[in-house]
Chain A
């Protein structure tokens, strides 16, 4: 099994309720030549169903990284993170908080709940592309996940 194939099999789970942000994130990944699959959960509830659920909605395998927005209707990002860490199957899953908020309490709580990284989405799209590129490279290529 080659490293590249292994890399191609890795996918990103994007948890984001804002369709603009979904598109912008995907465009940024494209622009950065990161061609890995991106699966999208439109809110926290869906994200949990996908990650923890079984059967039809449940994912066959875990993503390489979860890009998690915080401010979402129904179940917010921090609650999603808490559940991920609580679950035996997903507790070592890399989770990167990708959000507009720079509130200290969000950052602190995020890390407390076991976020692997905290990235603030810049308004400047060029900066955003730069951030996403680094993210993708890091988590999809460099990082060795726990199995």
Chain B
């Protein structure tokens, strides 16, 4: 403020001058007459000189007065000029300044409004004449703050500090902006008590402040919720804040850590030197980077982390705090270790596989060529690395189109794996047959990374297969030739069988017929013995006839074709047994045939088979008082076993192996007549149906013949 200094000087001078004038005047009055009386003795002269002295005093005083007044006037003029200049300055500040200045009187009216109101708020002074007008423009959310200003205004407090509030006011153009209102102390001016209300536009800085606060909130959120561990350290390296992720990592609660622990309390003892380094780095370089720590969790388990920290200093370079992030590497390290192991394993296999291994990059240039590939094809890895497949004489010319087609197909997004059999050249120009197992490796975006190929040299196999094919062909020829011969032999056999059946029987008939006639017509010329011989001749020829018939039947079993169907074995057995009983009605017999026995086979053959079995049973029980024959079935290992059991004479088990051989008889012809072909026929029928037959007997205790026929006979 300019006011006090000049006024004070001016007042002091006024009293000084008056005092000096008074002192000087007294001194003049006291000493000037005395001096004059000493110098002048003549009273008339003295009176005249006293008059001159009086005029001299008046003159000196007048001069002094003029000088003083001139100085005073000059100073007043200067002061006035200065005042006017200052007034202009303040007025221009007031009118052109960046704030609205409202002078409010006690009745709330604005008695002065600076022109800046138009620019800042957009309103004319007529539109804002008092506090009520202003109130109408205040944002409803901020109106309480406005009332606080009004209350202070009305409380009439003199010694209040300038009262500040921020609130939003609607400008004339309709926009809301933040303004700061400052209410000054009450002042009296020209006898009117008033206050100044200053309105300053703080919109931009408020917004910036809000944004700052928002970003601070965001930072806080980020800090707390980040998936990475964060903690901040005070200047004494005590942990002053820590986020959730890190607490979870450490297994501690916030209150156990914050303000109580340092990082050293959370790490393994062997890492303390690292922490010392971290502190040193933070203090000297402002940051500590990529420090690996083993942390010890609350439960004692350990994890490996990596820590990065940054220090923040105040103006005088003193550490304020440091912020550290902590990343848990344990899983990553384990994964890396596994990956490394897997890679080493894979590499081992690739290098040692008995198949050749070739890797191609995304442009199908060779990147890997295993030792086995070299030994198959002859080229070394150095010779082929970086080559395209058609850049050296590798794929057989005839197979190149096939390989190109298959690989194009694979790269066009078809199957990611294929197997191509093609011929390759070796370095020395030989041709190999190879089987290529190719697979494409794609990245997450489905782009080709590389193609891996396993090569199997199948040349030997191919040659062997060719040889086998040749052998097969000659074998087929052989089989055809054999078949032809066999067919021929079969035909011959049939002719033979026919001849046997017809031509061999004819002479037998003659022998028998004429013997009989001889016995009838020449009975009187023959003695008993002669007739006996003739009887023997007839017996022999008849037996031979039976033999021939049986041999034919046996051979027919092998010759005729199977016509497989379902055969009702129960009714077939009953039918055969009934006809046997009818032939010998005098025999006492109990037959027992299970119900619902069905087998699969050739109906005629099954009939011949059952006829033979039941004939035998009937025949060998003929000496029993009471014949018992049972035909039954039972399940065994999923097969249906049919058995024919009798109470006949049976057979000794030691001859079991002869039982089914043709012409082998276990009983004398006189005891039980027969040709010895029946069971051979039975067995042959069973075998033709791919079945099996077996027998069991105790001599004189009967016999059991058991057999089974597969469901689907061939």
Q: Is B505 an interface residue (CB 8 A)?
A: yes
Stretch of A33-41, A58-66, A97-105, A110-118 with 4 or more beta carbons under 8 angstroms from chain B: A97-105
Contacts A21-B506, A21-B510; is A125 near B517 (CB within 8 Å)?
Answer: yes
Interface residues of B in 529-576 (CB under 8 A from A): 538, 541-542, 544-546, 549, 552, 556, 560
Q: Is B503 an interface residue (CB 8 A)?
A: yes
What's the nearest-Cβ distance from chain A to residue B462, in Å?
52
Q: Is A144 an interface residue (CB 8 A)?
A: no
What's the nearest-Cβ distance from chain A to residue B553, in Å?
9
Establish whether residues B552 and A24, one from each chain, have CB atoms under 8 Å apart when the complex forms: no
Establish whether residues A100 and B513, one from each chain, have CB atoms under 8 Å apart when the complex forms: no
Contacts A123-B542, A123-B545; is A100 near B498 (CB within 8 Å)?
Answer: no
Report whether over half of chain B's contact residues are helix, strand or loop; otherwise say mixed: helix
Interface residues of B in 496-511 (CB under 8 A from A): 497-498, 501-503, 505-510
Q: Is A128 an interface residue (CB 8 A)?
A: yes
**Nearest neighbor of A129 in chain B, beta-carbon distance:** B516
Per-position 1/0 for A105-142, Cβ under 8 A of B: 00000000000000001111110100000000000000
**Nearest neighbor of A71 in chain B, beta-carbon distance:** B502
Q: Which of B498, B503, B512 contacts A123 (CB 8 A)?
A: B512
Establish whether residues A125 and B509, one from each chain, have CB atoms under 8 Å apart when the complex forms: yes
Using Cβ atoms and an 8 Å threshold, which residues of chain B touch A28? 513
Establish whether residues A100 and B506, one from each chain, have CB atoms under 8 Å apart when the complex forms: yes
Q: Which of B502, B544, B545, B546 contacts A99 (CB 8 A)?
A: B502
Establish whether residues A24 and B502, one from each chain, have CB atoms under 8 Å apart when the complex forms: no
Interface residues of B in 470-504 (CB under 8 A from A): 497-498, 501-503
Q: Is B616 an interface residue (CB 8 A)?
A: no
Q: Is A18 an interface residue (CB 8 A)?
A: yes
**Nearest neighbor of B553 in chain A, beta-carbon distance:** A102
Using Cβ atoms and an 8 Å threshold, which residues of chain B touch A24? 509-510, 513-514, 517
Q: Is B515 an interface residue (CB 8 A)?
A: yes
Interface residues of B in 384-434 (CB under 8 A from A): none
Contacts A24-B510, A100-B501, A101-B501; is A124 near B552 (CB within 8 Å)?
Answer: no
Interface size on A, residues (CB 8 A): 21
Establish whether residues B498 and A103, one from each chain, have CB atoms under 8 Å apart when the complex forms: yes
What's the nearest-Cβ distance from chain A to residue B580, in Å?
20
Please report the C-alpha to C-alpha distance between residue A123 and residue B549 in the assembled complex, in whole angstroms. Answer: 11
Q: Is A20 an interface residue (CB 8 A)?
A: yes
Establish whether residues A124 and B498, one from each chain, have CB atoms under 8 Å apart when the complex forms: no
Using Cβ atoms and an 8 Å threshold, which residues of chain A touch B509? 20-21, 24, 100, 121-123, 125, 128
Establish whether residues A103 and B512, one from each chain, have CB atoms under 8 Å apart when the complex forms: no
Contacts A24-B510, A103-B498; is A123 near B505 (CB within 8 Å)?
Answer: yes
**Nearest neighbor of B519 in chain A, beta-carbon distance:** A125
Contacts A18-B506, A20-B506, A124-B542; is A102 near B513 (CB within 8 Å)?
Answer: no
Using Cβ atoms and an 8 Å threshold, which residues of chain A touch B516? 125-126
Of the candidates B503, B513, B517, B541, the one having the most CB atoms from chain A within 10 angstroms of its own CB is B513
**Nearest neighbor of B511 in chain A, beta-carbon distance:** A123
Using Cβ atoms and an 8 Å threshold, which residues of chain A touch B549? 102
Contacts A99-B502, A102-B549, A103-B501; is A123 near B508 (CB within 8 Å)?
Answer: yes
Contacts A71-B502, A123-B542, A125-B516; is A102 near B510 (CB within 8 Å)?
Answer: no
Using Cβ atoms and an 8 Å threshold, which residues of chain A touch B502? 70-71, 99-101
Using Cβ atoms and an 8 Å threshold, which residues of chain B touch A121? 505, 509
Contacts A123-B512, A125-B509, A125-B517; is A102 near B552 (CB within 8 Å)?
Answer: yes
Contacts A21-B510, A24-B509, A103-B501; is A125 near B552 (CB within 8 Å)?
Answer: no
What's the nearest-Cβ distance from chain A to residue B503, in Å?
7
Please report the C-alpha to C-alpha distance between residue A27 and residue B513 in the assembled complex, in whole angstroms. Answer: 9
Using Cβ atoms and an 8 Å threshold, which residues of chain A touch B506? 18, 20-21, 100
Using Cβ atoms and an 8 Å threshold, which residues of chain A touch B556? 104
Given contacts A21-B509, A99-B502, A124-B545, 19 further A-B contacts (CB under 8 A): A20-B507, A20-B510, A21-B510, A24-B509, A24-B513, A24-B514, A27-B517, A70-B502, A100-B501, A102-B501, A103-B497, A104-B560, A123-B505, A123-B512, A123-B542, A125-B512, A125-B516, A125-B538, A128-B513
> Which 4 pairs between the two chains have the least Cβ-Cβ distance?
A123-B545, A125-B516, A20-B510, A125-B513
- The 15 listed contacts between A and B (C-beta, < 8 Å) are A20-B506, A20-B514, A21-B506, A24-B510, A27-B513, A99-B502, A100-B503, A101-B498, A101-B502, A121-B505, A123-B542, A125-B513, A125-B516, A125-B517, A126-B516
Please report B residues at the A interface, Cβ cutoff 8 Å. Answer: 497-498, 501-503, 505-510, 512-517, 538, 541-542, 544-546, 549, 552, 556, 560
Please report A residues at the B interface, Cβ cutoff 8 Å. Answer: 18, 20-21, 24, 27-28, 70-71, 99-104, 121-126, 128
